[in-house]
Chains A and B, each alone.
Chain A
Amino acid sequence: MNTTVCNPMIEDYFSQLEAKMSDLPQADRQELARELRAHVLDRLDQATVATEADCRVVLKALGTPEEIARQYRLERIMSRSAWRISPLSVLRTLLRWTITGVQGYAVFTVALIGYVLSASFYLAALLKPFFPHNVGFFISSRGLNLAAWPQPHGVAVLDAYFIPLSVLLGYLFTLGTTVLIRSLMRRFATLKQRV
């Protein structure tokens, strides 16, 4: 098999694909490109000397770099193991989604609120040893307050258990937000696939 005439066209295709997927992990990208290259070479193998026309047919059947990149992103969203509890990785994925539409933006807002709440609980637990009288669960007519200066309003509840409870609540908010976002994203991913 001789694919020399095809090489520029193939290289052009793969550099376009690379550009479309530049924000994704390099190792995954290279693995996919390697597999697609093997596919192209195998397809061209059927002709002893590949012509430009052969090559065009093979690349056309493969699909455009856009199509492949889109499918790849979709599969990543659907894949369970691509998800971690880490708010940073969730927010990074969401940020890319936000650019793609209103749904992404709405989900992003939900995520942000959830993670900010979660961070507040962690922060409060951290500050409690330094400001024992200002940080706590203060219940008053205004609702629940976590910290206030100079004097908190209302009654301090469960003060002795504040740190473990606050850490637990922080963790539950992180977990809850991530699980909620995941299910919303999967739902939207299925919707997007339909369109």
Chain B
Amino acid sequence: MALLKNPAKAEASEKWEAQLRKGCLELAILASLWEKRLYGLEILRVLEANSNLVLAEGTVYPILGRLKEEGLLHSEWVESDAGHPRKYYWLTDAGLQKVVSMAHFWNSFAANLNHLLKPVLNGKEKS
């Protein structure tokens, strides 16, 4: 808590960005599985293509493990041509519901915030 009180300015904004990324990662992972089952690296590739959320690739796996524990994902090891099996993940019914409700929340949240930020961004353009 003490650390949050008086950090250097640059460090503070970096932390804010990291925090925001972490908060959005769960939604992004669940959303990446909307269309079909994927294994870890495929999920990462989807995230890389659509966002810059992931800082260290390996940290996605513990998150996948927790989402599975919470009953939002199923997983299964599947043999591959690459010579080693890969662990595939897909959404459970609870996971489907969760990602839909998270997406709705995000949508209205982002719309409100964008509305709030409009004058700030316009002001920047003027000067």
Binding site for A on B (CB under 8 A): 1, 3-4, 15, 19, 22, 39-41, 55-59, 61-63, 65-66, 69-70, 82-87
Contacts and interface: CB of A to CB of B under 8 A. Distances in A.
A193 B59 CA distance: 13
B57 A63 contact: yes
A42 to B, nearest CB: 5
16 contacts: A34-B87, A35-B87, A36-B61, A38-B85, A39-B61, A61-B56, A63-B55, A63-B56, A63-B57, A63-B58, A68-B61, A68-B62, A71-B63, A75-B62, A79-B70, A194-B4
A77 to B, nearest CB: 10
Q: Determine the main DSSP class of B at the interface with A.
A: helix
Nearest to A58: B57
A81 B63 CA distance: 14
Nearest to A64: B56
A53 B57 CA distance: 18
A68 B58 contact: yes
Contact of A80 (B40, B56, B70): B70
User: Interface size for chain A: under 10, 10 to 19, 20 to 34, or 35 or more residues?
Assistant: 20 to 34
A67 B56 contact: yes
Contacts of B85: 38
Given A39-B61, A68-B62, A79-B66, 15 more contacts: A1-B82, A37-B84, A38-B84, A38-B86, A39-B57, A62-B57, A63-B56, A64-B56, A67-B58, A75-B66, A79-B70, A81-B70, A191-B4, A194-B19, A195-B3
